[in-house]
Amino acid sequence: MAEQAAGGMNRRTLVKTVVLSGAALTAGLPARALLAAGKAPETVRVSFFLETKPTMIAKGEGWFDKLSGSKCAWTEAGSGAEINAAFAGKSVDIGLAIGSSPTASGISQRLPYELVGMVDNIGPAEEMVVRKVANIKSVADFKGKKVATPFGSTSHFRLLGFLKVNNLTQKDVTVLDMKPDAEVAAWTRGDIDAVYVWSPAKAKMLEAGGELFTTYKDLDAKGYVIADLIVAGTEFSKAYPDALTGFLVAYRNALKMWQTSPDEAAAIVGKQAGVSAEVAKHDMEEYDFVPFEKQLTAEWLGPPGKAGKFADVLKRTADFLVEQKSIKSAPDLSAFQAATNTTFLAQAVKAAG
Amino acid sequence: MTEARAITQGRSRLPEWAITGVSVAVLIVAWVVATDGGFVDDLFMPSPSSLWSGFMDLVVDGYKSRTIWEHAGLSLERVLAGFVTGAIAGTVIGLAMGYNRVVEACFSPFVEFLRPLPQLAYLVLLIVWFGIGETAQIILLFLTAFPVSAIAAMDGVKSVSRQRVQVARSLGASDWQIFRFVVFPSALPEIFTGARLAIGVVYATLIAAEIIAGSTGLGWVILDAGRFLRSDYVFVGILAIGLMGLSLDYMLVAIEHRIVHWAGRY
């Protein structure tokens, strides 16, 4: 009897605690968001790629922490898909340098994030490398060849665009899903004839009997533009606009450093990414780091409230992904325009003067 | 006290299959309510209808230039090739290890080292050594099945009672006869247990194997669909791979019952 009563009490207390803490949580969250607006959060959870880009300057020198006024908690991502999954699980605030194709699929799947800036326009930095001995000189020579690329990446998107534009199907060309390190391994053995990928894998294969087969100019002109972007959780950008602006200012400063003193910038980036300064410099020279002022024009993301041409690129990318049966459906262009929010980018330009 | 017993007895009169049926039904109802009721986003858990349409989609149109049957068939081929070769080689070595301490001393460091090693750790090495074809994938699965079977067979031999061996010897049996008629049959139940464990781990390694140079196989389909958060395809893939694994296991159990029907009864 006594035991039973005690058990009942415990249970009641437990229920009470759960209800109370639940209420505190639900009531607390919006209040915290309201109170905190303009203030900095304690930590900003950033998912990033370890790569040779000016982002690594701002990370390595602690500018992101300093200018956002928070401690950045860095998690390295292996692919844009991982960043998307992290946003779906609400465990990240900012995705740094996520590719345009995973972003297009994320927006299509109504992930709770918005596009707030661009890291770079990829341009020739991701390109087809063919093995010299495979004797690939024209598009027709790709028939019967094996081409590897990491599926779901911007390179994969470009490669599929290349096949489509040239009326090749995946029956003519064997397309293999391989991570960059696996590509290098298979390339060394001579198992694959071509790859579509980025550096350092790309540079390694160019050294080991590869040559470039330029596709990007034609593909960019036909709308298969690929870029690396900055996305921020919508709840986060609403609650902490200043922190987000500061984060962007930090990247802007890093870009400036790359433009004004490239050697110093390359040394820092190399140290962060674990490569030599020369390699870092060479890698960065291939990217088109679009200045913030230019990002704010209709050519790219557009001024606040008036999404630029890049929303069209995202829409086309999403439609293509639907065609490939990677995603179920793509929303209208307006959804991509609505998901583009350059308010913070404009603030960052103003703040830096 | 008596009341409680009456209740449990009353419950136990329900046959097990009915209890299983009820538990599956409860899960399905909870799933329908949670998804169709709009409590859970499609991204996290597809509704039964979207799962069905995803399934039909895969059956009718296939996934990325191959039908779903081709993907399943390729996966099955890989699993069987890796499992059969790995289990046979592992059993042979394991029997020898159990029977002869020199053989055991020679092989046990490798077998023990290999068994807990995560396959992803040496994935790139396998590509460098064996290329990106089926060979590398089957070798990966072979290496997974091998140590599990070897250790099971070795333990099986070691657990044979000394008395039986001594009786056989005193009756004048040769070493080979002792192995053939006493040790091997006594070790068979453990060998089968090892085989069931091995097919389990081979199955679990399938996704890692199909990462090597993907674009085929159920494991790769799940991986690729997961990249775009296509939870409907992921769930269909998981169901397919799970049912396939279950039927393989049942097949092994059926064979086991035929061959070692006396297990646990002597």
* Phi, psi (deg, nearest 5) at residue B206: -55, -45
CB B206 within 8 A of CB B75: yes
pLDDT of res. A29? 44
ipTM: 0.71
Which run of H or E residues covers position A337? Answer: helix A333-338
Euclidean distance between CA atoms B144 and B189, whole angstroms = 21
pLDDT of res. A175? 92
Euclidean distance between CA atoms A55 and A69, whole angstroms = 17
Bridge-based pairing of strands A194-197 and A146-149 is: parallel
The average pLDDT across A327-343 equals: 95
Domains of chain A: 43-122+226-352 (3.40.190.10), 124-221 (3.40.190.10)
pLDDT of res. B5? 53
The average pLDDT across A176-202 equals: 90
Residue B227 above 90 pLDDT?
no
CB A88 within 8 A of CB B43: yes
Helix (H, G, I), strand (E, B) or coil at A48: strand
The average pLDDT across A99-117 equals: 95
Q: Which residues of B touch A324 (CB under 8 A)?
A: 64
CB A176 within 8 A of CB B214: yes
CB A73 within 8 A of CB A59: no
pLDDT of res. A40? 84
pLDDT tier at B260, thresholds 50, 70, 90: confident
Residue A353 above 70 pLDDT?
no
Q: Which of B62, B79, B63 is nearest to B224 (CA)?
A: B63
Euclidean distance between CA atoms B7 and B212, whole angstroms = 55
pLDDT tier at B212, thresholds 50, 70, 90: confident
Q: Of the given ranges (A182-186, A237-241, B33-37, B111-115), which has the lowest mean pLDDT?
A: B33-37
CA of B57 vs chain A CAs: smallest distance (Å)? 10
Tens-digit pLDDT profile for residues B23-41: 999 998 998 888 888 787 7
> How many angstroms separate the most distant Cα atoms in chain A?
89
Is residue A172 less than 8 Å (CB to CB) from chain B?
Answer: no
pLDDT tier at B7, thresholds 50, 70, 90: low
Q: Which two tokens stand for residue B199?
A: 């097919």
Residue B2 above 70 pLDDT?
no
Q: Which residues pair with A120 in a beta bridge?
A: A228
pLDDT of res. A37? 52
Is residue A192 less than 8 Å (CB to CB) from chain B?
Answer: yes
Give the nearest chain B residue to A182 (CA atoms).
B124
Q: Which of A319, A146, A51, A98 is nearest to B227 (CA)?
A: A98
Q: Which of B53, B57, B78 is nearest to B67 (CA)?
A: B57
pLDDT tier at A5, thresholds 50, 70, 90: very low
Query: Where are any strands of DSSP class E within chain A?
Result: 43-48, 71-76, 94-99, 113-121, 127-131, 146-149, 174-177, 194-197, 210-213, 227-233
Q: Of the given ranges (A5-9, A84-88, A153-157), which has the lowest mean pLDDT?
A: A5-9
- Centroid of chain to Cα B251: 11
A88 contacts B229? CB cut-off 8 A: yes
Residue A20 above 70 pLDDT?
no
Residue A324 above 60 pLDDT?
yes
Kindly list the strands in the beta sheet with A43-48, ordered across the sheet, starting from the edge strand earlier in the chain: A71-76, A43-48, A94-99, A227-233, A113-121
pLDDT tier at A141, thresholds 50, 70, 90: very high
- Of residues B8 and B117, which shows the higher confidence score? B117
Query: Where are any strands of DSSP class E within A21-100?
Result: 43-48, 71-76, 94-99
Best mutation target, B229, B232, B233, B234, to test chain A (most A CBs within 10 A): B229
Q: Which residues of A touch B210 (CB under 8 A)?
A: none
The average pLDDT across B63-67 equals: 83
pLDDT of res. B8? 55
Which run of H or E residues covers position B189? Answer: helix B184-211
Q: Whole-structure pTM over 0.90, yes or no? A: no
Is residue A137 less than 8 Å (CB to CB) from chain B?
Answer: no
B133 contacts A182? CB cut-off 8 A: no
* Phi, psi (deg, nearest 5) at residue B77: -55, -50
- Of residues B124 and A332, which shows the higher confidence score? A332
pLDDT of res. A34? 45
Percent of chain B surpassing pLDDT 70: 93
A189 contacts B127? CB cut-off 8 A: yes
Q: Which residues of B touch A164 (CB under 8 A)?
A: none
Q: Which residues pair with A176 in a beta bridge?
A: A148
Q: Give the torsion through C-alpha atoms of A115, A117, A118, A119, to 10 deg.
A: -120
Tens-digit pLDDT profile for residues A40-91: 899 999 999 988 999 999 999 999 999 999 999 999 998 899 999 999 989 9
- Centroid of chain to Cα A122: 11
pLDDT of res. A4? 42
